[in-house]
Amino acid sequence: MYDVIVVGGSFAGMSAAMQLARARQKVLVIDAGMPRNRFADEAHGFLGQDGRAPAAIIRDARAQLLRYPSAEVISGEAIAARADGDGFAIEVAGSSEHRARRLVLATGVADELPPIPGMSERWGETVLHCPYCHGYEMRDLPLGVIAAHPMSAHQAVLIPDWGPTTYFTQGEFEPEPAEIHAFAARGITIERTPVVELMGEAPALDGVRLADGRLVEVAAVFTAPRTRPATPLAAMLGCVHEDGPTGPYVKIDEWGATSVAGVWAAGDGATPMHNATLASAAGVLAGIGAHQASVRAAA
């Protein structure tokens, strides 16, 4: 039996596992190899890693983790989780079950983009969700915000610091009067005719076609996809979820503990704020929290 199984081998999971390995815990990381950031060529705003490929960061993290003799990593998809005696069992597709006294779920979220032709093949390149992660690379270019939920107007107010901005309401997400005032102050153009297609040779973006046939030149668009848990493991274990602005996430305390004793969660699946640095920091907290719980249990 392991002391801790960490499900998820991206920024949050590896950060949790590192703390546990350094605490000389017997830790297993189960990694499906499908991180949310796999569509992006570079990570940005991550101290010491700016401009590096997310896959390279994760590869280095795995190598560093495996220098610790109490750490293991297996590649595979965790498909089921259950309480099992004094711990938990995780089933891996095509493999046997693995047991641990405690779990850290760093399984992330899956994105559901607006159903507009041309979005998916540009995701992570010229269709973006976070200006702090990708805005600088699009600086001084014509930019768009395709509204997808009521907070899209808030997102749009940020974007002019990177480039001239058009806000596409999609005929559904009209800004409030105060937001219209902010748009005017920021020089944001409001376009109420819906975007129906993204144009150009993907992943490049030449512009968007509107429902009335007009073309609007933009080099990149920001949007806020709906998010859902990437795996059902937290639900299988009975962890309480909360509703965020883009979708549900696992409810945790300040150390990443979920509503289920012995289970911690970290990363995009456990917060409404999605960012690589925040995910890594949350993994550190969850790893430390899981270790300190073992100390308390043994006292």
**Distance (Å, rounded) from C-alpha 112 to C-alpha 36?**
12
Structural domains of the chain, with CATH: 2-111+226-298 (3.50.50.60), 114-222 (3.50.50.60)
The secondary element (H helix, E strand) that includes residue 283 is helix 276-298
Q: What is the pTM of this model?
A: 0.93
H/E element, 14: helix 11-22
Per-residue pLDDT of the chain (299 residues; tens, 9 = 90+): 999 999 999 999 999 999 999 999 999 999 999 888 888 888 888 888 998 999 999 999 999 999 999 999 999 999 999 999 999 999 999 888 999 999 999 999 999 999 999 999 999 999 999 999 999 999 999 999 999 988 899 999 999 999 999 999 999 999 999 999 999 999 999 999 999 999 999 999 999 999 999 999 999 999 989 999 999 999 999 999 999 989 999 999 999 999 999 999 999 999 999 999 999 999 999 999 999 998 888 77
pLDDT at position 248 is: 96
| CA–CA gap between residue 136 and residue 50 (Å, rounded) | 12
At 149 the pLDDT is 87
Residue from 2, 14, 61, 10 nearest 286 by CA: 14
Task: Give pLDDT, residue 95.
Answer: 81
Whether residue 183 contacts residue 198, with contact meaning beta carbons closer than 8 Å, is answered with no
Specify the 3-state DSSP secondary structure of 229: strand
Q: For the chain, how many helices (H) and strands (E)?
A: 7, 19
User: In this structure, are residues 13 and 104 in contact, taking their beta carbons and an 8 Å threshold?
Assistant: yes
Q: Hey, how many other C-beta atoms are within 10 angstroms of the C-beta on 226?
A: 15
Please enumerate in sequence order all residues whose Cβ is within 8 A of that of 69, keeping only pairs 6 or more positions apart, or say none: none
Rounded Cα distance, 7 and 105, in Å: 5
Length of the chain: 299
